[in-house]
Every structure is written in C-alpha cells, then in structure tokens.
Structure 1
Amino acid sequence: MGGGNDKVGYDAVVIGSGYGGAVAACRLSLAGAEVCLMEKGRKWEAQDFPTDTLQIIPELRMENRNLGVNVGPKDALFQLHVQDDSVAAVACGLGGGSLINAGVMIPTPVRVRRSPKWPKEWERDWDVCEAAASAMLRAQSIPGEFSNAKVMKEIAEEEIEECYPNLLKLSINFNAEDSQSSTKMGSCLACGNCLSAGVFGTAKILFQSERRGLTVSDRLGYGFSCNGNNVAYLAGSAAPLNGQGVKKEQFSKIPFQDRPGPSISSSYTSSLGFTIQSAVMPAAFPSLLFKGVTTYGWPIGYWFLHGLIDKMKHMMCAKDSQAMVLNVMGHDESDGRITLDEYTNNIYFCPPHDPLLKRKIQALQRLTKRLGGILFMSRYRSTSVHLLGGCNASPDPSQGVCNSNGQVFIPDCPSTVHPGLYICDASLIPCSIGINPCLTIATAAEHISQNLVQDVLRHKNSAHPPQFPKAEVASQIVKPELRMTKKLETAVKPAVIIKETMTGYLGGMPCTAHLTMKMGSRNNKESDEANSAIEEPHLLLRGRVGGHVVFKAVEKDKLYIIDGEVDMCRVDNKTPYTQYMYYHLILASSSGSRYVLEGKKIMNPYLLAMYGWKETTTLHVKLTEINRNNSKVEMVDLKGELRLTMANLIKSLISLEGNKKGRFVCLLLQSFWRTYILQMPRGNPICLLPSLELKQKPYPPSDLHEIKTVDGCTISCRQWKCEQNQGKQRIPVLLINGYITDSFCLPTEPNDLVRTLVDKGYETWLLQTRLHPHHPSNDFTIEDIGKFDIPAAVSKILELHGDSVKVHVVAHCAGGLAIHIALMGVNRSPPSTPETNCPNHSSMRKMYTRRMCGSLRHFW
C-alpha cells in the first residue's frame, strides 16, 4: 500500500470479494478509481476444484467449539463452524462465498421489503439496483427441466402447504444466452458439483478494530440471522431423482438433459414463510456424512439397514437407489448474536430463534412419504449456509452499526459516520430473506456503491488534502512486520544477515523468538558518542533486528518487532572483563499493545570458557508492557530465559547471508577468545572516569574530619552537609562500611547511598575506620572498631550538633557487627566494664539513655 516516499497507489481498499465486495470493487473501478481488492485464501480456477473425496479433505477446515478442536488449514476452501447445536459454513478464496455458492438469483420477497427492519431508503431505487445487479451477475434461466425438478413439480404443490414456484435464475453460463462481455466464462456442464455458503469476515474485522480504538455501535454483532437454513438428505427413493453428481469421466456418456443438472434447479415457497429447494449432492462429498454421521434417519429404525443395503448394491455394481439434497430456508427472528473471543480471537455465534423449524420438518417428512426412502435430517438445530446481519443497517447507532448507505456510525454522534469506512456485504442485511440472499446482497451493494463511488471520486478530485492516508501515514498503519521490513531495507545496506530462533520461558510460560538480524546496518551515531572513551567493537557485530516473537500466554497472535537493535560485543564500564550480547526489541501486537523486550547474554571469563556454551546461547530476558494512556490495568512485567539450541545454531550458520559473513564469524570468535582465553579488559579506565563525570552530576562537596581515638589511633570521618534543608535539619546519618571500604560512596554510580541521602536532605557522615587503606596499618580487631572508632565518630557528631541530637546508623557487613559491639558495651554495668577498656563509656551511655541513637538499620 505504499511506503517511504512512494505515492499511495489506491483510492479505495475493498476487503472481501463475495457478492457485495465484488460489486463495490467493480463499480469503483468502472468509475476510474484505483482499487485494491483484498481476500483471504487463494485464487481458484474451474479445474482446481476438488472432484473426489480424497481431494476435498485437504480443502476442509472444521472449528468445533463443542470439542475444542480445530482441524484443517486456515485457508481451506470449505470452512465449517460447529457451536452448540448449530453449524455454519463459509468459503475462503478469491470470490468469497461465490466459490461454492449455488448462484441462485431470486428477487427479494415483498414480505421482506415491508419489514419494519428494512431500510426505507433502499426502496427508492431498489428495483433499479436489482436489475443492475442481475445484469452484472449475468443471471440466466435454466435451459429445461432436470430430473429432480420434474419430480418436485409433480408433488410440491400437494405436499408443501400453500406453496408457489419461484422464478429461478442462476449466475451460471449455460451458453443459452448471448454473453454481455468479452470476458471468458466457462459454461455449466450440468454435472451437479456446486454448493452455497456465507461469511463472518466483516464482523471480525470491526471487533478487532474496536479493540484498537475504533468507536463502533454497541449493536455490533446483534441482529444475526441464519436465514432459517436447514439441510436434509433424501435417500433410497424409487423416484427418478438423479440427485447425485457425476464424475468427469462420465460426462461424455450422458446426454445433457439426463445429467443431474446444476446444484439447485427448483424452488418452492410456502405462504407460511419457508422455502424448499431440490439440490444435487456433489460427487466429491462423502455420502456417509449425510447418512448418520451428522444426521438422524426418519422413519426411525430403518436408516441403518438402508445404509448397509445401499452399500452392498454399490459393491455389487447394482443400480444405486435415487437420492437428492433438500435445502430449506425461512424467516427466523433475526435475534442471534456474533461475538469475538478475547483470548482465542475466534468468532462465536448464537443462532436466532426459528419458529418455523417444526413446520419445515413436517413438510420434509410429507415429501419423504410421497417419494419413499429415508429422510436424513441434520442433527443440528441450525445448519446455515446463508449468514446475514451482525452489522445491521439502521436509522441510528442505537439500532445498528451502519446507515442505509453502508457508512459506519460514530456512536457518540448519531448523525456522523466514520469517513471512508463502508460495509457492503451480507452483514448489513437487517433481517432474514427467506430465500437465497445472493441477489439481495448484490442489490444492496449496488445501492451502497452509488454513494461510495461519489465519495471516493470527491476525495480524489478535491483540491483539499485527502482524508485517505498519505505515504508517510500509510507506512505507519500497515502490518508491523511489513513496516519493519521496509525499515530494514531503507537502513544502511547490511553486510551480514542472520536468522536466529530461540526458545524458552518467560514467567514460566513458553516463548519463542524468530529474529532476523542485519549486521552492519545499525546507525551508530549515538553509540559512538556514548562510547567514545572506550574501545569500540567492530560495526559488523552490531545491527538492526526484525522478525516476531510468539508468546501466546500474553498475545494470541504474533508479536511483531517494529524496531530492534543488537550488539554482540557490548561492554559495561563497571565490568570490563565481561562481554555482553545485548538485544533491545520493541514489539507490537494485533490488539494494539506494545512491549519492550530487553535481553543479555552474559559471558564471564571464568575457568577458561568452561561455561562458554551455556553463556553464549542463553539470553536473559525481561518483557515489559508499555503503559499507554495511563491505564490502570496491570501491565505485563516478566523475566525469563531464551536458549539457542544446537540445531537452531547450525540452521543459523547455514542460512548466513552477505558478502562479509566470513569476516563476521572471525570477529565474533575473536571476541570470545579475548573474553574467555586472553581475559583482557575492554576500554581504558584512565580516561573512563573523566568522561563519565562530564555526563553525570558532580559529586556533592564534603569535609574530612580527622579524629584521634582514646587508644591513640587516627581515623577519619567525611561529612556531607545538606544546604537545601537548612530550615528543617534532618537527623544526621552515620554510614559504617564493612571490609569493602567503598560500599556507600561510589563516584561512578549515579544513585549511590551518599548521593541519595544528600538529595533527600540528610546530613551524611561516612566513617573511615582504622580498617581504611588511607590510615597507617596496625594490629586491630573488629572489637577495637566497636570500642573506640564508632564512639569517637559519634562524639564528633555530638560536638558539632549538641548532646540532644539523634543519629541514624546504617552499617554494612563487619560494620554491623561493630555497631552491635559498641551498643552492647554501653549496656554493661560499670564494674564489669573497666574504664580503661572503654574510655568513652560515659558518653555512649549518655547517648543511649537519652535515645540519641534514634534508629539502627543493619544491612548484612
């Protein structure tokens, strides 16, 4: 759809190529608009359709919600949805439902056009649009009567209550009428291999768009109709029904009039509100599905025996009994509902109430009695191949999703619509039709196309900026993986391309990352500035990342990488001996959520690469969800590990692309050699600190106090005054290190404890005991620090602030033990604590009894 600086190539995008989408695309194209027609599935030619059972099985997908089973490819031609006591069938491929549709063209009944749900605006030009749709679809009359039509004609008026025959035309070329176009159109062979179906696509697209921010009426999914559809199979009749499709090799042996005929060749409508049509069973369909697997037999008790006898006749090459399919439609209540499951992203539906179901079954039973044989009725209450509604046309958003022109309502403003967004298929039909709805759908599409064409041409010819996305906007709304691919292509030409697959667990849940890394294509301007003081790894070890992550515990669909970078030889300034492989990925989901995935492979120079394999193939990962719009919903924040298996590593090496792949492998191995074997640090520590100090805030100024203890040892105490809190002085904090002398004062750390305390308004004291390397070495114990050094430091604080001040003490490791010794020395009685052993015993006791030591925090 365009990207970069390319011009947007289309004035309109039509999603779906069934009866509605085909009409809209045709009218737009004839008006001179540039049209993009999008459809799920493949293009089918006449010779591609399955002609036997073995060919039809791979082209069938069944989604059974009752059993929780999905079988078959997602782009299969036939799509069956089984839910509760209902079945719905749709098609997948270029042409939509027309691929497997019987192509029955019957005008919309007057009863439907008088319904209060029917848009009154449609009546203004309905007959004109209906004639235009019929002409475009080249509807033709059936040349003569075929066997099942003759039989139905003899008995229908007697067995179906108050019925009348329908004026039946098919959108099929019988070579009986002149063609209206030079377009080549195959002729019907009367072989009996056609079906009918409908779609769920529009409702699913709008549900998904609503998740991503599109405002849609609350009536989305309501008003769903199955068109009162049921299917039955009549077998074992003595009448010449000839309702079984013939195989291709039999065509030349059977005259045209003696063949089964098109899928449907007769139709009778009862005044009660239902229609019964005789149909032909395609040769590719397994008849056992209609003889007990998905049906039940009537009369009860005979159907199983009939199946055995019929099978034996077939094996003995005897004449098979006659059979045909009976297709039933009617007027249901149109009160069903379509929903989209939040977790599985699958469409679920609840069929409408069918008040005529009993009457339809009784009519079928009367036909069976007259013709003889066994009637196999569907086990499901609704077996629908004509789906309608769910995005109903209505006067306002409180009753439907779109107006009579197909424009989608903005629910907050009843009189306004989303510009440029139209519905133009069966989903806007607001009620059941009672007969085959193909011509009704095409007629509604003709009506909508009139306004749609004007809208598109108005924007195309307008001097104002179009409301359709320009190139730079279009590049942001296309699929994330396409946008990332475009981004990678427009970056610096990569020298090496690596494909890597890692699997593992995040938060205990399975996760797989499929990465495409383009090394040498990364923009390193910022990195050059950030790392100008240290030794730079080769640019071939850096690059951009595309691909996707599969993490179904969080998102059902793939998480596409819309931006990512990798550095295979990153060095932390604080750990110059350790090598890191750093990954930073921004992920986008189909639900609109965004995530950041950061990962590191950590390679430490221990034991000459004994852990080298584990470290170079283990990515330590953190996944964080980006909180947009300050949502109060708990955000995802997970940690885990992804691993590169030996098999995937070999695949990555084999799939290496680029003219510098050999150089890349050498550089990567050299970095491992330096880390694990030579164990040489990276970077220059001498020039490292000044460059960091320029970027960080300067360390707070301090005063150094030298203190003489009573046992003659010299110690020091560094004081950081807090000038920002002069009005309300906080309690001084005394920090006591352990054996590691710089636990609290770390100039290279932006948020060490000293900086943090000073920023919070605390006067901070850091005790440098006789253990500190700046003091002369001498023999001492930790007990000496507790007896002499800590009391001396506290005395200095009391000297400056007065005897009434409280002191917080934060001690680490051996410092914690020392402060305990100091406090326990205070609590000893004077006779058991000689004055010479604790000369400052009185000042410590005084501080303790007056609660001068306000709090003690001990960090082990």
Structure 2
Amino acid sequence: MVSGFNRRRFLTGTAATAVALTVATPSAATPTAGAAGPPTREERWRAVVVGSGFGGGVAALRLAEAGVRTLVLERGRRWEAGPGSDTFPRFLHPDRRVSWLEPHPVFPASPPALFRPYTGVIERVRGEGMDIICGAGVGGSSLAYAGMSLRPNEELFSRVMVGGIDYDEMDHVFYPRVASVLRLAAIPDDVLDHVRYTSSRLFLEHARRAGLRGERVPLPVDWEDVRRELRGEVPPSMSTGDVIYGVNNSGKHSVDRTYLAAAERTGHVTVAPLHVVREIRRDNAGRYVVRAERINTDGEVLEHFVVTTDALFLGAGSAGTSRILVRAKGTGAMPDLPDDVGAYWGNNGDRLFLRNFVPQRTNPPQGGPACTAILDWGDPAGPVSVEHGPAPLPFELHTMAMLGMGIPDGHGRFHYDGRADEVVLRWPNSADLRSREAIRATLDRLVRATGGTLVDLNALDPYTFHPLGGAVLGKVCDLDGRVHEHPGLYVVDAALIPGSTGCCNPSWTVAALAERCLDRIVSKDVGTVF
C-alpha cells in the first residue's frame, strides 16, 4: 500500500484513475501478492496521461498520432450511453451513480437520498471558503457539463491569460480545431421554437427588453438527437434539461466519444478506468513513477499499480492536478517542484442565482442543455456573462436558473496539511467580490426590465463548476505546459490558467490551450525528451 494512505482522503477522491490492463504491455510485471492486502503490479510506459477530460483527451490523441504508446489513467468508470439508454441517473431521482464515493448526492440542490457509496459521476471537493464540483469517469467533466462553449474576445483573453500566448493563433487555429472535433453547434431555429424551449426563448426576449446582448451559444450536441427526443422516438434527456448527471441517448459529443475514441482507434493508446492516482515521484534515472490504486465501483482497492514513464502528462483537472503536485511537494516525494504549485487558483467568477416569480410561464420541463447567454462584456461595473440553465422541473414554478461569470481579482491556493495528509483549497471571500457585484448589477438590470426576484444561491453554499489554476503558465510551467526544471513532466489542463477564462465557460479554452501545448511538445520533445 502507498505510504501515508488515508482511507478518509481516498473516499473523497484525489486525482485521476484507471483499470487493470488485460492486454500485453511493454515491460509488464506479473502481479504479486504480498503477505497481506492487494497485490502490486508494475509496468513501464513511454507516456502516461493522468485524467481523461479535456486536457487529458487532447494529450492522448495527439501523442497517439505521433506514434507514442500511451497509458491514460482515469479514476472513474466508463459511462457508455446510447439510444434509449439509462446509463446516467436522473436529477430528480438520484441513486448511487450520482456521487463519487459518498453516501448521498453532492450536487447542489439535489433531492436527498442515501445509498451505498459508488464511483459516481460527480465529485465535490470540499475546501475552506469554496467547494469544487467536478466530473469523474472516462471523459472527465465533459460527461456532466452542460456543454456551453464560449470563447473570450482578445481584450478579455489578454486580461486573464499570461503574456506570450498569441490570441490570433488561438483564435484562428486552436479554438477552431477544438470546435471541429467536438462538433460545436448552436441550437437551430426549429428546436428553439419548440414549446419545450419556452424558457430559453423567454431569456433571449428578456435580454432584448433589458437592452442586453443575448446570444445562442455553441454546444457539443447532435441536434438531430434532440429532435428524435422531441418526436418521441427515444426517451427524453436533453430536451427535458436532464443533463446534470450526464446525457442519455447518444447526442452529446463528450471527450470519451471524440478525442479519446479517436486516440484508442490508433492502437497506440490504452485507457485504464478505475485507478486512483495516489503519488508521483522521480526515480534515480529521472523517470517518473506513478503509484495508483486499482479499485472496483464500490471503492475497494483491488490492486496496487506502479507505472514508470519517461513522460508524465497531468490532465486531472485543476483540482486533481493541483492536489497531485501539492502533495508531491508537501510530502517530500518531489520537493524541488516550483514554489507556486497550488497557487493562483480561481473560481472563474462563477455565481449562481435563482430568478423567481418570472411573470411568464416557463413551461417545464425546460428544454436543454443550456443554450442561451447574455454577454455583457462592456459593462462599466465589469465584464459579465449570464447563462440560463434549463432545469428538469416537474411543474410550473415561474423559475429560471442563472449562472453568472465575471473576472475575479483575487486567488485561492491549495495547501498540504501534513498532519492529516490532505491537500486543502483555501479561498478568501474577498477574491471575487467585484465580479459578484458586476454579475448582480447585470441581473438587476434584467429583473428591473422584465420582473421577478433574485436569490444568490452561492451566498449560502459557495462552490464553482469551473475550477482554474494551481499549476499556472509562467509560474509553474513554461508557456507550453512543461513544468520548470522537470523534463518530461507536463500540465495540460485547467490548472494552467490563473483563475479565469474571461467570462467564459472554461472547456473550450482549456481544450484549445491543450492543443497548443501538444503541438509544441510533439514537435520539440517527442524523440528528444521522451
């Protein structure tokens, strides 16, 4: 068992994970049982990717295309949905599939339930002052995100991104490349005109009446699949807004269906679910050693897994990657990591409001996924985006959920607590004060013009769906994601970005930045560093 293993810490999740390999692998060792406990298996791979979300998925595909044999470690299970499937749980009927190894739902405002812990689709990372909501499973948070795909303009990009990242290159090369892979498309007229999408049309109309810029937002959605739901050919999921725990049927182009599927088809990539990464370190030869626990869906450890690699790509998301690095430095496994690991963390300016007493009917269930937004980027109080998140409401409540995103002007940080052997996020309440005020000003303008009242849900329960930072460009990594003074160690996910993606959902920017990093890593490091 890995030194310092803590059962409580393990059950709340740590970083990324993977599955027992049933194929022949280079330098694979025969598992051997110790005197007590699970056996240990050791392997050697040219490249290892930790995490299978946007960053990890991009890394896996681009390494595969370069002919690099790569192992992808993912902590969660595979979730394979298809037409008429019941793969993912329903929001109003939560069961043990909803939460990562906890006995109850952890998603905000979920109906209560008790169940036996399971490797479910949502993890809640609890911090001091701020919690993080993130996905678990092959495909990472792309499984459970609504899919809203916004990219900042040049002015906003320059405000939040480290200098040296060329916006024109991102705008003309990498954002379009991601859009092509994920097949991003805005909601078409005939779907938006359907009675199921009354709340989305109402949101756009209210924005117009308030003098605000309302837009349809691109999503990784096959809208023909939504049409099949609306025609009654398959059970509804997206068309009723039941997307919070993942999308049943086959209409969402998540990372597992796009980047990872393409990577696996090359024959160079093995995706290994249900391995929780516990520790990373360097051996005397300068290679990276990853220690993981292979688990079953009840969270029981079946096997210890040790893999040695020349190139380690951390793509476990801001929470996962930050915790891996902070723990490695804090325990002394890698004491020479940069001092800023864990720092410059932010919540993307997220603020969730409930707009009650909407004068018009919203005609539940509200069709989704979230497909409309207000882009109030020129507001003197501060740039703001507001998205309407349709919900699978069972009856008319005259209610609309509103997610606002501003630009926080402060940061939090992950710290290692040696006594508890835990990595904890600490977030000061003042870090996003001005962005909160800017979001509220935009929503007040909307409500003054069209009616209703506002409830700030995050005032009672602070959390974010969009964690960013912890291994940021220019501080921990160079501009291509290479960790300073650690050849062969890379960060390729949201941990690279210091706290904000400029009033936009991070997924598109995270994937585009990963594409940029991999272009440079493949051209310069493959065949030299690894």
TM-score normalised by L of structure 2: 0.65
Is the Cα contact below 8 Å between 1:243 and 1:322 reproduced in 2? no
Q: 2:342 corresponds to which residue?
A: 221
Do residues 141 (structure 1) and 186 (structure 2) align? yes
Is the Cα contact below 8 Å between 2:123 and 2:133 reproduced in 1? yes
Match of 1:424 among 479, 486, 492: 492
Match of 1:401 among 476, 480, 487: 476
Q: 1:27 corresponds to which residue?
A: 62
Q: 1:153 corresponds to which residue?
A: 204
Do residues 238 (structure 1) and 359 (structure 2) align? yes
Residues 480-515 of structure 1: CA deviation (Å, up to 9, x unaligned): xxxxxxxxxxxxxxxxxxxxxxxxxxxxxxxxxxxx
- Give 1:307-706 correspondences, 5 Å limit: 320-351=396-427, 352-378=431-457, 379-380=459-460, 382-394=462-474, 400-410=475-485, 418-433=486-501, 434-455=503-524, 457-459=526-528
For 1:72 and 1:386, the matched residues in 2 are separated by: 28
Unaligned runs of 5+ in 1: 65-69, 178-185, 246-259, 284-313, 395-399, 411-417, 460-466, 469-860
Match of 1:192 among 230, 241, 257: 241
Q: Secondary structure at the match of 1:225?
A: coil
CA shift, 1:436, in A, is: 0.8
Q: Which has the larger radius of gyration?
A: 1
Q: Secondary structure at the match of 1:51?
A: coil
Q: 1:663 corresponds to which residue?
A: none
Q: Secondary structure at the match of 1:322?
A: coil
Is the Cα contact below 8 Å between 2:106 and 2:122 reproduced in 1? no
Q: 1:41 to 1:63 in 2, by over 3 A?
A: same
CA shift, 1:204, in A, is: 0.9
For 1:149 and 1:268, the matched residues in 2 are separated by: 15
Q: 2:321 corresponds to which residue?
A: 202
Aligned residue pairs total 386
Is the Cα contact below 8 Å between 2:91 and 2:244 reproduced in 1? no
Is the Cα contact below 8 Å between 1:243 and 1:279 reproduced in 2? no
Q: What is the identity, as a one-letter code, of the residue corresponding to 2:470?
A: G
State the identity as a percent: 24
For 2:452 and 2:213, the matched residues in 1 are separated by: 25
For 1:72 and 1:148, the matched residues in 2 are separated by: 36
Is the Cα contact below 8 Å between 2:215 and 2:372 reproduced in 1? no
Q: 1:785 corresponds to which residue?
A: none
Q: Secondary structure at the match of 2:484?
A: strand
For 1:140 and 1:330, the matched residues in 2 are separated by: 24
For 1:25 and 1:91, the matched residues in 2 are separated by: 18
Q: Secondary structure at the match of 2:376?
A: strand
Q: Secondary structure at the match of 1:201?
A: helix
For 1:343 and 1:44, the matched residues in 2 are separated by: 36
Is the Cα contact below 8 Å between 2:88 and 2:97 reproduced in 1? no
Q: 1:449 to 1:242 in 2, by over 3 A?
A: farther
CA shift, 1:223, in A, is: 0.8
Do residues 18 (structure 1) and 53 (structure 2) align? yes
Q: 1:58 to 1:136 in 2, by over 3 A?
A: closer
For 1:56 and 1:74, the matched residues in 2 are separated by: 10
Is the Cα contact below 8 Å between 1:426 and 1:441 reproduced in 2? yes
Q: Secondary structure at the match of 1:278?
A: strand
Is the Cα contact below 8 Å between 1:106 and 1:166 reproduced in 2? no
Residues 742-778 of structure 1: CA deviation (Å, up to 9, x unaligned): xxxxxxxxxxxxxxxxxxxxxxxxxxxxxxxxxxxxx
CA shift, 1:202, in A, is: 0.3
Q: 2:389 corresponds to which residue?
A: 279
Q: 1:413 corresponds to which residue?
A: none
Is the Cα contact below 8 Å between 1:236 and 1:323 reproduced in 2? yes
Q: Secondary structure at the match of 1:129?
A: helix
> Which structure has more RCO (C-alpha within 8 Å, separation ≥ 6)?
2
For 1:72 and 1:136, the matched residues in 2 are separated by: 37
Is the Cα contact below 8 Å between 1:229 and 1:382 reproduced in 2? no
Q: 1:356 to 1:108 in 2, by over 3 A?
A: closer
CA shift, 1:215, in A, is: 1.7
Is the Cα contact below 8 Å between 2:412 and 2:426 reproduced in 1? yes
Q: What is the identity, as a one-letter code, of the residue corresponding to 1:174?
A: W
Q: What is the identity, as a one-letter code, of the residue corresponding to 1:202?
A: T
Q: Secondary structure at the match of 1:356?
A: helix
CA shift, 1:266, in A, is: 3.3
For 2:407 and 2:91, the matched residues in 1 are separated by: 34
CA shift, 1:189, in A, is: 4.4
- Give 1:722-733 correspondences, 5 Å limit: none
For 2:42 and 2:444, the matched residues in 1 are separated by: 63
Is the Cα contact below 8 Å between 1:80 and 1:88 reproduced in 2? yes
| RMSD, aligned CA | 3.3
Is the Cα contact below 8 Å between 1:264 and 1:278 reproduced in 2? yes
CA shift, 1:151, in A, is: 1.3
Q: What is the identity, as a one-letter code, of the residue corresponding to 1:385?
A: F
Q: Secondary structure at the match of 1:231?
A: strand
Q: What is the identity, as a one-letter code, of the residue corresponding to 2:435?
A: L
Q: What is the identity, as a one-letter code, of the residue corresponding to 1:150?
A: R
- Give 1:785-800 correspondences, 5 Å limit: none
Q: 1:406 to 1:142 in 2, by over 3 A?
A: same
Q: What is the identity, as a one-letter code, of the residue corresponding to 2:468?
A: L
